Chains A and B, each alone.
Chain A
Amino acid sequence: MSRFALTALAAALVAASPAIAQPVAITGGKLALGDGSAPIDNGVVILEDGRIVAAGPAGSVAVPAGAVMLDARGKWVSPGLVAPFSRIGLAEVDLSADGSDDASIGDSPHSAAIDVTWSVNPAASPIGVARADGVTRALVAPGPGDRIFSGQGAVIDTATDYDPITRAKAFQLVYLGEAGAGMAGGSRSGSVLELREGLRRAMGEGAYRDLPDDSLLTAADIEALVPVVKGEVPLMVVANRAVDIVNLLRLAQEYRGLDLILMGAAEGHLVADRIAAAGVPVIVEPTQNRPGSFEALAATQSNAGRMVAAGVEVAAAQINDFLTRSAQNNRQLAGNLVALTRVPGHTGVSWGQAFAMITSTPAAMVGLRGEIGVLAPGARADVVLWSGDPLELTSHAERVWIDGVEQSLENRQTALARRYRYPQREALPKAYRR
């Protein structure tokens, strides 16, 4: 029974509209390009063959003959949202639902070598929920096991097909700070040693070249770190305490090829100028403002704004909770950063900057600048038509395209909401209403 239900749902999902061969012109809407600029009134976006052909103010963009015309007056149009970090698609249910959860690498003897792409389930409910709210791409990586390395993350799309991977091996995730210390036996020093060992083995460096292999990492793990030390794959590092960030930047001086991304950075604002000088982009949770741990004593919602003011590239995501299912709320978090511009003493960001934090900035961190998260010629045609301002709580996605293919916005939640719109007993039990 349950298997039949899942199959039926899957069939409904893949029955989304086919790609439109003709160009599509979306006109008259308020246009958010995603590149940090302010929204444009009365904009035009042209999609063709899965790519953006043009986007800009009416008059600056030629509408091709024969284009399908979509009137977006009174609406907003934006690139699909990019979740800067999440675990959507890795778990259906997070607790005591055996077999439905691939969100952590658990007891695997491997760590850095784990490739998340084999765990992504595009039919998972959280993918459908994210898609229905305008999230079209996500950076995903599993949670750690008992090593500081958490494996090779990917960029995925949220489309209703079975090919979710946009870029495999898009980054390597590693934990320092409190979390890393816990995995490395209890101390921060231990976690740094473990990181250093992985990097040096991957470089075939010094003593590590000739000694017998007593590594905590497997051969596969070390192989996975080779492109990291060459700077071909970004190293995403979780650290929060100000001095942990400084130490990371110091460590990076020794491995100059590293392409770092900092995640967490609860106290990043205390060392914002140093992060900016190192050119390291940061993923933060904008609303983190409690001393939830001893490495977040100085947490404040002005963290993101102060780092932006110092010249740091900042992306915004819910990263401390509900990673498997919260990507759709990143736009709320970004909106909260705009709210701070009206609170005395706080440092907020502009609307355009906030929107870039959930579109182009996370894309750029993993080498996909101009490819996703932006309405610009040549970018993938991930487009959302919104009922209103996409950072507002009362707005919702009305239509979503991924690679130019219009997507179904149906999911388990919409089906449940329809079934139970009215609780009254009907001619047949609720089980017959779908």
Chain B
Amino acid sequence: MRSILLCSAALATSACATAGASDTSEAPRLFDPNPYASTYAAYPGVPTVITGATVFDGNGGRIDNGAVWIEDGIVRGVGSVDDILVTGEMKVIDGTGMYVTPGIIDVHSHLGNYPSPGVSSHSDGNEAVDPNTAYVWTEHSVWPQDPGFSRALANGGVTALQVLPGSANLFGGRSVTLKNVPGRTVMEMKFPGAPYGLKMACGENPKRVYGDKGGPGTRMGNIANTRSAWIAARAYDAKWDKYEAEGGDRPDRDLALDTLRGVLDGDIRIHNHCYRADEMAIMLTMAEEFGYSVASFQHAVESYKITDLLREAGTCSAMWADWYGFKMEAYDGIPQNVAYVHDAGACAIVHSDDPDGIQRLNQEAAKALAAGRRMGIEISEAEAWQWLSANPARSLGIFEQTGSLEPGKMADVVLWNGNPFSVYTRPAKVWVDGALLYDAEDPARRPVSDFELGQPGMGDVK
């Protein structure tokens, strides 16, 4: 990209003029790396101060009798009630007895690509036609009218989420990070500036899906196929690097290799579906072999066995609180997994992979916290909130914008009607970019998707 700008800005220079003399040395023509860019625009809000609440700031801090001030779509102030000057322009919400947190971010969702109702016409999450479908972008499967988005907002306090392709393939395709704000198009929901992710998978799923379709049929086949793809990606990367620097014959474009090249260049983040500790270790080694890094392991049921390796690699583990045994590679799941990863100083995330679980990630975190405490691991509730917002934001590359309550960040905020680690607690209000998009007191602030219009139960509490 840079080379073409330099060259076109200096057409008169001898290097470019000389290069233009023969058709094999034309100036390189680059393509738009982001043709389906976000068109998201925040909805309007009113300057608001929540006072007297317990605040989890998302970075592990807790403020009792705290106040949070949001205005112009961003967090303007967080502190004790005495720190925030309330003016007549602000709407004041008495948060006494309530809690304020950053919005929950789910790093593993299939809302939109496996939407409700779960009929075969809607099954758009796995392009299970080839073990390498790095060429698909799951945003092109996301149905914005999935009724699940609204449940995640109203019951779960989820303000952003990553939708991933499924795990049938070694390379499942690009993920997309969304604001949990209804849109007519997926572009209207895309989180502005969020980097793309690439879903990879190891273990049982690819070998089960492709075992009788030409392979891979074994775990060693999974690894060999994956390594071969990285070898091809490096060759492609070198070819394009050369073209971008020197011009000449334009290499053929390959959508799958574009994505793998984006990983090698550090622009696209790897989110690797992997359950077993031994397989995660192999995938970390593979990343070293080919020169990329793994942002997160998804499911990571056995992360507790290799917390040291994960900490050293800087790789997050996105985990369930207590799912186990539903297949062999999940057999060793334990409810202490999240707490052990956190306790070892590695990055722990509670994820859902489920349209129901996404509505209760706070409850799942509470179970994980309790399991850790039973083993003597003292983690405060405020620290544990990092599993739900800050660490997810870091793994997605959006922590500069959201994931904690800090002045200047997006006002993605949840007011809970009690301690969110209690089963008896629900969101009272949810703001995204400072816009009040759910209010338990106001049926008009309860989104209803197109699908639900005119159906039994339209507009009901859900």
Residues of chain A whose beta carbon lies under 8 Å from any beta carbon of chain B: 92-97, 125-126, 129, 242, 267, 270, 287-294, 296-302, 321-322, 324-325, 329, 332, 335-336, 338-340, 342-346, 391-396, 412-413, 416-417, 420-421, 423-424, 430
A298 touches B460 (CB 8 A): yes
A424 to B367, CA, bound (A): 25
Given contacts A93-B325, A93-B327, A287-B359, contact A343 B340 (CB under 8 A): no
The distance in angstroms between the C-alpha atoms of A93 and B331, with both chains bound, is 7
5 closest residue pairs by CB, A with B: A298-B457, A335-B423, A298-B456, A393-B366, A95-B327
7 residue pairs from A and B, CB less than 8 Å apart = A92-B325, A96-B328, A297-B457, A342-B418, A394-B367, A394-B421, A424-B308
B151 near A413 with CB under 8 A, answer no
Q: Is the CB of B326 within 8 A of A420?
A: no
Q: Is there an interface contact between B325 and A416, defined as CB atoms closer than 8 Å?
A: no
* Measured CA separation A338–B365 after assembly (Å): 19
Knowing A298-B460, A417-B375, say if A342 contacts B327 (CB, 8 Å): no
Interface-side segment among B111-119, B215-223, B261-269: B111-119
In contact, A342 and B360 (Cβ under 8 angstroms): no
Find A289's partner among B151, B324, B418, B424 (CB 8 Å cutoff): B151
Contact of B423 with A298 in the complex, beta carbons under 8 Å: no
Write out the residue numbers on chain A whose beta carbons fall within 8 Å of the beta carbon of B370: 393-396
Chain B residues touching A, majority SS: loop
Residue count of chain B within 8 Å CB distance of chain A: 61
At the interface, yes or no: B452 with Cβ under 8 Å from chain A? yes
Q: Is residue B336 contacting chain A, with contact meaning CB distance below 8 A? A: yes
User: What 0/1 readout, one digit per residue, does chain B (438-462) give for beta carbons within 8 Å of chain A?
Assistant: 0011010000000110011100111
Cα distance A430–B325 when bound, in Å? 21
Instruction: Using CB atoms, name the residue of chain B closest to A91.
Output: B325
> Does B187 interact with chain A (Cβ within 8 Å)?
no
Could you tell me if A325 and B326 are in contact, using CB atoms closer than 8 angstroms? yes
B456 x A332 contact (CB < 8 A): no
Using a CB–CB cutoff of 8 Å, the interface residues on chain B facing chain A are 116-119, 147-148, 151, 155, 204, 208, 304-308, 322-328, 331-336, 340, 344, 355-356, 359-360, 363, 366-367, 369-370, 373-375, 417-418, 421-426, 440-441, 443, 451-452, 455-457, 460-462
19 further interface pairs, Cβ-Cβ under 8 Å (given A270-B456, A297-B457, A395-B370): A92-B325, A96-B327, A267-B456, A288-B356, A291-B147, A291-B455, A298-B455, A300-B462, A325-B326, A339-B424, A339-B425, A342-B417, A345-B440, A393-B363, A394-B369, A412-B332, A416-B334, A420-B304, A421-B375
Given known contacts A96-B327, A293-B118, A421-B340, A287 and B366 CB-to-CB distance under 8 angstroms: no
Q: Which residue in B307, B375, B443, B451 is a CB contact (below 8 Å) of A291?
A: B451
Contacting residues, chain A, for B426 (C-beta < 8 A): 339-340, 342-343
- Contact status of A287 and B356, CB under 8 A, knowing A417-B334, A421-B375: yes
Chain B residues within an 8 Å CB radius of A289: 151, 155, 359, 462
Residues of A within 8 A of B307 (CB): 423
Residues of A with C-beta under 8 A to B306:
423
For B340, what are the chain A residues with a Cβ–Cβ distance below 8 Å? Answer: 420-421
Q: Is the CB of B208 within 8 A of A290?
A: no
- How far apart are the CA atoms of A344 and B438 in the complex, in Å? 13
> Do residues A290 and B148 form an inter-chain contact, with CB atoms below 8 A?
yes
User: B178: shortest Cβ distance to chain A, in Å?
Assistant: 18
Nearest B residue to A394, CB-CB: B370
Would you call A423 and B359 a contact (CB within 8 A)?
A: no
Task: Give chain A nearest CB distance to B360 CB in angstroms.
Answer: 7
Smallest beta-carbon distance A91→chain B, Å = 8
CB < 8 Å neighbour of A93 from B328, B373, B440, B457: B328
Kindly report which residue of chain B lies nearest to residue A424, judged by CB atoms. Answer: B308
